[in-house]
Amino acid sequence: MIKVGIIGSTGYAGGELVRILTAHKDAEIIWYGSRSYIDRKYADVYQNMFQIVDAVCMDDNMDELAEQVDVIFTATPQGLCASLVSEAVLSKVKIIDLSADFRIKDVSVYEEWYGIEHKSPQFIEEAVYGLCEINREDVKKARLVANPGCYTTCSILTAYPLAKEGLIDMSTLIIDAKSGTSGAGRGAKLPNLYCEVNENIKAYGVATHRHTPEIEEQLGYAAGEDVVLNFTPHLVPMNRGILATEYAKLLKDVTYEEVKAVYDKYYADEKFVRVLDEGVCPETKWVEGSNYVDVNFKIDNRTGRIIMMGAIDNLVKGAAGQAVQNMNLMFGLKESEGLELVPSFP
**Would you name the residues annotated as active-site residues?**
150
- Phi/psi of residue 12, each to 5°? -65, -45
d(CA 277, CA 346): 22
d(CA 109, CA 119): 14
**DSSP H or E segment with residue 243:** strand 242-250
For 263-278, the DSSP string reads HHHHHTT-TTEEEPPT
Q: Tell me the C-alpha to C-alpha distance, in Å, between residue 306 and each of 30, 247, 259.
A: 48, 6, 10
* Strands of the 242-250 sheet, one edge to the other: 202-203, 230-235, 168-179, 242-250, 305-312, 293-300, 273-275
Q: Tell me the C-alpha to C-alpha distance, in Å, between residue 177 and each of 228, 246, 319.
A: 17, 8, 16
Bond preceding residue 346 cis, omega within 30 of 0: yes
Q: Hey, how many other C-beta atoms are within 10 angstroms of the C-beta on 211?
A: 23
Q: Hey, how many other C-beta atoms are within 10 angstroms of the C-beta on 172?
A: 15
Q: Hey, how many other C-beta atoms are within 10 angstroms of the C-beta on 268?
A: 10
Conformational region of residue 243, where left means phi above 0, alpha means psi within -120 to 50, and beta covers everything else? beta
Q: Which amino acid is at 296?
A: N
d(CA 301, CA 291): 33
d(CA 55, CA 139): 30
